[in-house]
Structure 1
Amino acid sequence: MPEALEAVRRLLDLRHRGRAEDLPALLQDAAPLLGAKSARVLLIDYGQLELWPLRGRGADSGERVPVEGTPAGEAFEHARLITSPEYVWLPLMHGAERLGVLELHTSGAPDPELEVIAALVAELIASRRGYGDAVEHTRRREPMQLAAEIIWNQLPPLTFAVDGTVVSAVLEPCYDVGGDAFDYAANGDILHVGLFDTVGHGIGASALTTLTLNTYRNARRSGLSLADTYRSIDKWIRAQYPGSFVTAILAELNTVTGRYDRISAGHPAELVLRDGRCLPALPTPNALPLGLGSMLRRPPTIISEQLTPGDTLVFYTDGITEARDRSGALFGLDRLTGFVLDELGSGVTPPEVMRRLIHTIVSYEQGELRDDATAAMIRWQ
């Protein structure tokens, strides 16, 4: 126990002076205090396919570790401790966000305080990542296009959980996305969620998406209603990008009562999943795409639904359902629904369902997506 506390003290010292790239050497020095011969951080890449050693001073320049079929990958997939006779793998969780895995080569029985150490390492990565580029250098396995750089810098963490409610999202192609985005915020009892699909691609689309995301946040933080949030975003898109538009779902979920309100601005209806089945689709669209709202005089319609505990909502852009295989067959809504129901029925967590879904879409299109593909899931308990 005293040795574990000394390891914590050394790691905490990084909070006040240090960068993420300093963590590998610090961990290696602290490993004997944790009953380990060595310790290293493995971060998930942007494609969520492989785990890579964190770059930095004293870092192991070892090879990638696939998520599929490895103990480290199992620890990441299921967010739980995995052991072998010589190694321990612990998930690195920043809140509900999966950052990667802490791997320790043990020299005996592992210290029971390792989960505390893993939590601290995750916090250090999250807090220190902005002071250098070691985390980005580690996670990027190919050059990121500027449009994607802009979008990723706008997004919240992929997964968030509060009081039994989980929201998780994915987007692909992760190195070249430009027109799709999502956002969420939990304020009091209300979870705000927005999913956006911008017309076009590249820098132009990412600029329009940036305006849309920040106008959405400004409206939300100004206390505007759902209808007025729609009007505000619509007004700014029309003023700054006349002729352009963004399809979107703007939603609010009361995490205490389960009341769900949303506006579909020219966007496909979300899936509403309950007790292993998909409920009839909610009416959609009930407003014109953002940027075209002035073409109708009536205000946007708000659709409401009362959720029951355990319900799941799945949002998606058309890049998901309109993915095509080699023969030209669409992935389609039925295949999407069946996939999510099967995964949830097997006890797979929302972030892992989203990770597996996006890789299923990429495989369906033989690794070359024709359009941005984004999906988000809310599970209300």
Structure 2
Amino acid sequence: MPVLITVAVALLALVCGAGTSWLPLLVVGPALAAATSGPWGVVRIGALAMALGAALGFRGGEPGGQQAILLATVAAVTLAGALAGALRRRRERVLADVRSVAEAAQHAVLKPVPETIGPFQAAVRYSAAAAEARIGGDFYALVPTPFGVRLIVGDVRGKGLPAVGVAAVVLAVFREAAYDEPDLLDVVHRIERSLARDLGPDDFVTAVLAGYPEADRMELINCGHAAPLLVRDADVLPVEPVRPAPPLGLRALAGEPPTVQDVLLADGDQLLFHTDGVTEARDHAREFYPLAERLARHVTKEPSGTLAALHEDLLRHVGGQLHDDAAMLLLRKPDRARDATNGPGPATGARPRAAGPTPAP
């Protein structure tokens, strides 16, 4: 583009035959090159502009003083552009190093979720609200343990680096306690004790923990978090807690201990865990994202495909840019006989239900 602009200006001056009146525009080429090229690229564009300016000025018989001023202007802009290009390249290298560190931090804090874990198919989708960020205040973890598959999905109050630090603490404690504690409630207690040392007086963490200790039974502990959505046959049901517990870090104020809720999982059932960045996303009319309705529309037998469709639909709803961190983790218990018969196509007939009995024994 800088070369094309420089040549176009020279051709314009040549065709119009207006002396050097168009030639000052030759500085546009080196100025633009400073934003797209390195210092040597800027120098080459500047040399081309100076050569064309000298040739056209000589051809038009312009006074030497005017030609000297023109060439000096192009040379000054070229030198300034070369310096700017060198500084930009240096900042780009620093930014690349920072991004590589951010990628490493993301993989250390938010580890990838396998496609299959224990008896489940699994998928996760995460979007940080901060521009260029890879991680925010929302978090998740899904791990196999001696006590079955266990997971946590949560949201730290606030945004930015402080929220990331708290999320890292919660995940580190969860991954250790999930392997050590036979009782899922003890995992929650371990996290509470750790947060008591790290949280500020106004901070808290909402989270839902789940464990699969035996066939067909999922344990849930909901600490002030958004209710998971259960996809069963033709229904999408919110799994509301029977006894709501306060968020992590606020138990001392509420005095209400968390309780374990059992959810029966049949073959083919799916369970979507999410954060409020999904359900509280608004469109231009300030309407919330209808997650249950859209899940019923996009659910398939492949969790990764379901979350990909939901994520694209969510971005369309908000106009392309989320304003809060958003995480979704989907588990599906395969139905071997039905999947073999019908193939991996969409699960049809699902519909959201705003109310109904909690799917517990």
Q: TM-score, normalised by structure 2?
A: 0.60
Cα distance in 2 between the residues matched to 1:341 and 1:171:
20
Contact 1:173/1:372 (8 A) holds in 2: yes
Q: How does 1:234-313 map to 2 (within 5 A)?
A: 234-243=192-201, 244-254=203-213, 257-279=215-237, 281-283=239-241, 286-313=244-271
Which of 198, 212, 224 is residue 170 of structure 2 equivalent to?
Answer: 212
Please name the residue that 1:363 is paired with. Answer: 316
1:1-381 to 2 correspondences below 5 Å: 144=99, 150-162=105-117, 164-173=119-128, 175-176=132-133, 177-188=135-146, 190-243=148-201, 244-254=203-213, 257-279=215-237, 281-283=239-241, 286-331=244-289, 335-344=290-299, 347-381=300-334
The whole-number CA distance in structure 2 between the counterparts of 1:145 and 1:180 is 21
In structure 1, distance between residues paired with 2:199 and 2:100: 22
- Alpha-carbon separation, structure 2, partners of 1:154 and 1:373: 16
Alpha-carbon distance in 1 for matches of 2:169, 2:103: 15
SS of residue paired to 2:115? strand
Q: Work out whether residues 148 and 178 of structure 1, in 8 Å CA contact, stay in contact via their aligned partners in 2.
A: no
Q: Is the 8 A contact 1:159 1:351 kept in 2?
A: no
- The verdict on how the C-alpha distance between 1:206 and 1:280 changes in structure 2, with shifts beyond 3 A counting, is closer
Specify the code of the residue in structure 1 equivalent to 2:206: T
C-alpha offsets along residues 72-96 of structure 1, whole Å, 9 cap, x if unaligned? xxxxxxxxxxxxxxxxxxxxxxxxx
Give me the whole-angstrom Cα distance separating, in 2, the residues matched to 1:226 and 1:293.
Answer: 17
Deviation at 1:328, TM superposition (A): 1.0
Mapped to 1, the partners of 2:160 and 2:276 lie a distance apart of: 17
Cα–Cα, structure 1 residues 330 and 145, in superposed 2: closer, same or farther, change >3 Å? farther
TM-aligned CA deviation for residue 151 of structure 1: 3.8
Distance 1:205 1:280, change over 3 A: closer
Displacement of 1:185 in angstroms is: 1.0
Taking a change above 3 Å as real, the CA distance of residues 249 and 147 of structure 1, as seen in their structure-2 partners, is farther
C-alpha distance in structure 2 between counterparts of 1:267 and 1:285, whole Å? 12
Q: Relative CO higher for 1 or 2, CA cutoff 8 Å, sep ≥ 6? A: 2
Secondary structure (helix, strand or coil) at the match of 1:153 reads: helix
Provide the residue aligned with 2:42 in structure 1. none
2:24 counterpart residue number? none
Q: Measure how far apart 1:155 and its partner are.
A: 1.6
Asked if 1 retains the 8 angstrom alpha-carbon contact of 2:118 and 2:144, the reply is no
Structure 1 contact 151–181 (Cα < 8 Å) conserved? no
Q: Secondary structure at the match of 2:292?
A: helix
Q: Which amino acid aligns with 1:274?
A: R
Q: Distance in 1 between matches of 2:187 and 2:147?
A: 18
Q: Aligned residues, how many?
A: 236
Q: Following TM superposition, by how much is the alpha carbon of 1:188 offset from its aligned partner in structure 2, in angstroms?
A: 4.6
Please say if residues 223 and 244 of structure 2, whose CA atoms lie closer than 8 Å, have aligned partners that are also in contact. yes
Determine the C-alpha separation between the residues in 2 that align with 1:151 and 1:364: 26
> Separation in 2 of the partners of 1:266 and 1:298?
12
CA contact (8 A) 1:170 1:374 kept: yes
Give the Å deviation of 1:232.
1.2
Please state how far the C-alpha of 1:144 moved relative to its aligned partner. 4.7
Identity of aligned residues (%): 27
Which SS does the other structure have where 1:378 is aligned? Answer: strand
Report if aligned partners of 1:267, 1:284 keep a CA contact under 8 Å in 2. Answer: no
Q: Cα offset for 1:275?
A: 0.4
> Which 4+ residue blocks in structure 1 deviate beyond 3 angstroms?
143-152
| Offset of residue 219 of structure 1 | 1.1
AA aligned to 1:278 is V
Structure 2: runs of 5+ lacking an equivalent: 1-94, 335-361
- Report the secondary structure of 1:260's partner residue: strand
Cα deviations by residue, 1:158-216 (Å, 9 ceiling, x for unpaired): 34314541121111038423101100112356110100101111111100100010011
- Which is further off, 369-378 or 271-280? 271-280
Decide whether the 8 Å contact of 1:183 with 1:213 is kept in 2: yes
Give the structure with the higher percent helix: 2
Q: How far did 1:365 drift?
A: 1.2
- CA distance change for structure 1 residues 171 and 285 in 2, over 3 Å: closer, same or farther? farther
State the alpha-carbon separation in 2 of the partners of residues 149 and 358 from structure 1.
24
How far apart in 2 are the matches of 1:220 and 1:163?
A: 15
Q: Alpha-carbon deviation of 1:226?
A: 1.2
**Contact 1:151–1:206 under 8 Å retained in 2:** no
Shift of 1:376: 0.7
CA distance in 1, matches of 2:171, 2:119: 26
Superposed CA RMSD in Å reads: 2.6
Q: What letter is aligned with 1:249?
A: V
CA distance in 2, matches of 1:151, 1:374: 14
Measured at CA, do residues 146 and 245 of structure 1 come closer, stay the same or move farther in structure 2, by a change above 3 Å?
A: farther
Q: Distance in 2 between matches of 1:193 and 1:284?
A: 20
Describe the SS at the equivalent of 1:337. helix
1:168–1:376 CA contact under 8 A, matched in 2: yes
**Alpha-carbon offset, residue 223 of structure 1:** 2.2
1:292 Cα shift?
Answer: 1.2
